[in-house]
Amino acid sequence: MKKAIFVIFLDLLFAAALSADAMSVNVSAEPEGTNCAAGGVKIDILDGDTVVDTQYVCNGANGSSPAVSVSEEASGGMCGTAGGIKVTVGTETRYVCNGEPGKDALSRTSAEDAGANCENGGVKIEVGIDSNGNGTLEDGEVNGAHTVYSCNGADGEAGHDALAKVSDEPKGNNCKNGDGIKIEMGIDENDNGTLDAGEVASTQYVCNGKNGASQGAQGPKGDQGEPGTNGNDGKDGEPGEKGEQGPKGDQGEQGETGATGESGSNGATTLVAVSEEPKGENCASGGKKIETGLDVNGDGALGEDEVDPENIYYVCNGMDAEEAGLTSSSTGCSMTEADDDHGWIAAAFAMIAVLAAAVIKFARR
């Protein structure tokens, strides 16, 4: 009985890195049937618990399937500190190694004085890759080609001052129980610092209350002085103490004070919001989303309706250091002579195509 021996080589170069931590391979025997007439090996490629692709390596006529095993390659072995996956088919062993972690994209903001970049001042936004991995965007890491400015709007016009004028109000229709105070209020439209007659918007009166209902009780009579000696008239005794004054009548209620006029609004402040951008259409490897706009409602936070759609920027993470492809310990392939049935040749090429398609598929995720 002749045996067909399959030797699989994983020397594949791709434009993106494959994360071995996200993949797993399950190998099982495939009985004779629709998938393999002479039986063979079934290879399931999984992303987590989900089977994303299944391929078959079939035996040739009167052949037997090769021994296939897949295991994790620990850090410090054939894949260095990155680790990876060890794949053994028959007597051949190859390694699929993890790429080195990529560098993060960072951003920083600073105040921009009024000048050529911002007529009314604003915010300077700088971005770059954290080359030394210290979590801070340093001057030497700033990518000047991507520096942008978010500028303040022009200041609004100053508002007019609110004024009040207080004068005495005699007893009459406005203060029926006695005199009081007249308070006139309004906006100083001509900015002359005086509330003119045409600027009075509201008038209030604060009137005195009624006099007390009765006079206070008279004080007690003072003691009589000692009589003088005979002869010259004695001095008059000291006058008695003055009686206590009666209580003062209750004061009338004070009128309501008029409302103060509104001050002119200041120009809106420019705000910047920086948030995480997941992997997707804007950033293939994830990154930062930078939004800017004017704080129209003055609450100090950049609301969704305040974001300027023309000033949304994305700063994307860099790619892995070994994104050029996968490493392998072999550069060629070998195979032993089989019988006249060439089914093993087609199976070997089919296996290589399957692995290449699987790696490309996961690299694009």
What is the SS3 string spanning 172-196? CCCCCCCCEEEEEEEECCCCCCCCC
pLDDT score of 3 = 34
Q: List, for residues 178-232, the tens digit of each pLDDT value.
A: 788 888 988 988 889 998 989 899 998 888 777 666 677 788 888 888 887 777 7
In a domain, 129, yes or no: yes
pLDDT score of 21 = 44
17 within 8 A of 100, measured Cβ to Cβ: no
In a domain, 232, yes or no: yes
Tell me 68's DSSP state.
Answer: E
pLDDT band at 11 (very low <50, low <70, confident <90, very high): very low
Q: Are residues 167 and 255 in the same domain?
A: yes
| For range 78-83, the mean pLDDT | 78
CA-CA distance, 181 to 169, in Å (whole number)?
5
pLDDT score of 35 = 86
Q: Are residues 172 and 250 in the same domain?
A: yes
In total, how many domains does the chain have? 3
CA-CA distance, 152 to 120, in Å (whole number)?
6
Tell me 142's DSSP state.
Answer: B
Token pair listed for 118: 């911002």
pLDDT score of 67 = 64
pLDDT score of 319 = 66
Helices (H), the chain: 343-363
Q: Are residues 179 and 147 in the same domain?
A: no
In a domain, 72, yes or no: yes
CA-CA distance, 116 to 5, in Å (whole number)?
73
Angle at 123 between CA 120 and CA 124, to 5 degrees: 120
Q: List, for residues 110-157, the tens digit of each pLDDT value.
A: 999 999 999 999 999 998 889 898 999 999 999 988 898 889 888 777
Q: For 241-258, b where at least 16 C-beta lie within 10 A, e where not — what string?
A: eeeeeeeeeeebeebeeb
Domain residues for the domain of 141 are 105-156+266-316
DSSP string, 210-240: PPPSSPPPPPPPPPPPPPPPSSSPPPPPPPP
Question: Higher model confidence: residue 161 or residue 332?
Answer: 161
Sheet containing strand 180-187, edge to edge, reads: 162-169, 180-187, 200-207
In a domain, 197, yes or no: yes
Q: Are residues 188 and 250 in the same domain?
A: yes
Q: Are residues 246 and 162 in the same domain?
A: yes
Nearest to 14 by CA among 234, 328, 240, 241: 328
236 within 8 A of 225, measured Cβ to Cβ: yes
Token pair listed for 323: 């994104």
CA distances 357 to 54, 161, 350, 354, Å, are: 11, 75, 10, 5
Q: Are residues 89 and 55 in the same domain?
A: yes
Q: Are residues 223 and 234 in the same domain?
A: yes
Q: Are residues 173 and 146 in the same domain?
A: no
Token pair listed for 13: 């170069």
In a domain, 346, yes or no: yes
| For range 57-79, the mean pLDDT | 71
Q: Are residues 64 and 82 in the same domain?
A: yes
pLDDT band at 17 (very low <50, low <70, confident <90, very high): very low
Mean pLDDT for the chain overall? 75
Pick the range with the lowest mean pLDDT from 142-151, 215-224, 302-311, 354-363.
Answer: 354-363
Pick the range with the lowest mean pLDDT from 16-25, 101-110, 294-303.
Answer: 16-25
Q: For 143-182, b where at least 16 C-beta lie within 10 A, e where not — what string?
A: eeebeebbbbeeeeeeebebbebeeebeeeeebeeeebbb
CA-CA distance, 322 to 97, in Å (whole number)?
10
pLDDT band at 62 (very low <50, low <70, confident <90, very high): low
CA-CA distance, 54 to 52, in Å (whole number)?
7
Token pair listed for 349: 């090429």
pLDDT score of 264 = 63
Pick the range with the lowest mean pLDDT from 112-126, 138-152, 245-259, 326-340.
Answer: 326-340
CA-CA distance, 93 to 294, in Å (whole number)?
61
In a domain, 351, yes or no: yes
Identity of the amino acid at 164: A
In the block, which residue shows the tokens 């129209």? 296
| For range 296-314, the mean pLDDT | 86
pLDDT score of 136 = 93
pLDDT score of 18 = 39
pLDDT band at 14 (very low <50, low <70, confident <90, very high): very low
In a domain, 73, yes or no: yes
242 within 8 A of 219, measured Cβ to Cβ: yes
Q: List, for residues 93-111, the tens digit of each pLDDT value.
A: 877 777 667 778 888 999 9
- Residues of the chain with pLDDT > 90, as a percent, come to 12
- Residues of the chain with pLDDT > 70, as a percent, come to 75
Q: List, for residues 273-294, the tens digit of each pLDDT value.
A: 889 999 999 898 888 888 888 8
Tell me 166's DSSP state.
Answer: E
- 359 has pLDDT over 70: no
